[in-house]
């Protein structure tokens, strides 16, 4: 598990001055969200590099033990036991290596956005609230928190004032909106700078959300 994560990257025309690291959902890969970059219609002069890592392959209990790309195992669909903490911590360490690699290339932490959908969002929230350097923003799409009770003892102050944007579908039957709202409330109660947007969609992204994500990225990195 200590091997660096492979990824798909989309580079700007000029040297990158900012990076978005975007984590996919269960059973997907870095290729899944890569096509969203042109749809975001970000100005070329923002020089944003996108990194879409592939999660490690592992057996997933709720899928009959089938091996697939997953940031962690899901042993139960129960509200409070869905994310396997050991796997979440392992994946968070691997994604932290990706952030550090971007910093080594010359992009400072405060010009890096950590984004994630579903399982990827769990990792983005887990790592983003514990990471020791201040990020530009955290984007949490159709997602939830792993073991929220641990946050108080494990959180770093570095991203206490970092904007965290939640987006969730009102008709999501995979990760019910209530799970996203519970994560939002936990972070808000802990003093984080969170915002919430709901969309008339299922467990996916829609054009309205893509437009909102584009505006949010531009506000964070302009």
* Residues tagged active-site: 118, 172, 203
**Edge-to-edge strand ranges of the sheet holding 137-141:** 7-10, 48-53, 18-23, 112-117, 137-141, 163-169, 193-199
- Cβ neighbours, 10 Å, residue 41: 10
DSSP 3-state percent helix, strand, coil across the chain (nearest 5): 40, 20, 40
In whole angstroms, give the CA distance from residue 205 to residue 210: 7
Please check whether residue 91 is in contact with residue 56, taking contact to mean a CB–CB distance below 8 angstroms.
yes
**Helix, strand, or coil (residue 82):** coil
- Cβ neighbours, 10 Å, residue 215: 11
């Amino acid at each position: 598990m200590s091997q660096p994560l492979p990824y798909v990257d989309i580079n700007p025309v000029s040297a990158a001055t900012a990076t978005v690291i975007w984590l996919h959902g269960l059973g997907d890969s870095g290729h899944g969200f890569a096509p969203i970059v042109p749809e975001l219609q970000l100005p070329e002069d923002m020089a944003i590099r996108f990194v879409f890592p592939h999660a490690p392959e592992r057996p997933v209990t709720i899928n009959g033990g089938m091996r697939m790309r997953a940031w962690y195992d899901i042993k139960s669909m129960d509200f409070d036991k869905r994310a396997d903490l050991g796997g979440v911590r392992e994946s968070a360490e691997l994604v932290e290596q990706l952030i550090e690699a971007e910093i080594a290339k010359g992009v400072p932490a405060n010009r890096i956005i950590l984004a994630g959908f579903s399982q990827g969002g769990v990792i983005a929230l887990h790592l983003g609230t514990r990471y020791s350097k201040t990020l530009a923003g955290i984007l949490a799409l159709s997602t939830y928190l792993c073991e929220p009770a641990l946050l108080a003892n494990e959180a770093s102050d570095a991203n206490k004032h970092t904007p965290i944007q939640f987006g969730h579908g009102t008709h999501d039957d995979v990760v019910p909106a209530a799970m996203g709202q519970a994560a939002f409330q936990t972070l808000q109660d802990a003093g984080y700078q969170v915002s919430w947007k709901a969309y008339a969609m299922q467990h996916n992204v829609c054009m309205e959300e893509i437009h909102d994500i584009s505006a949010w990225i531009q506000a964070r990195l302009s």
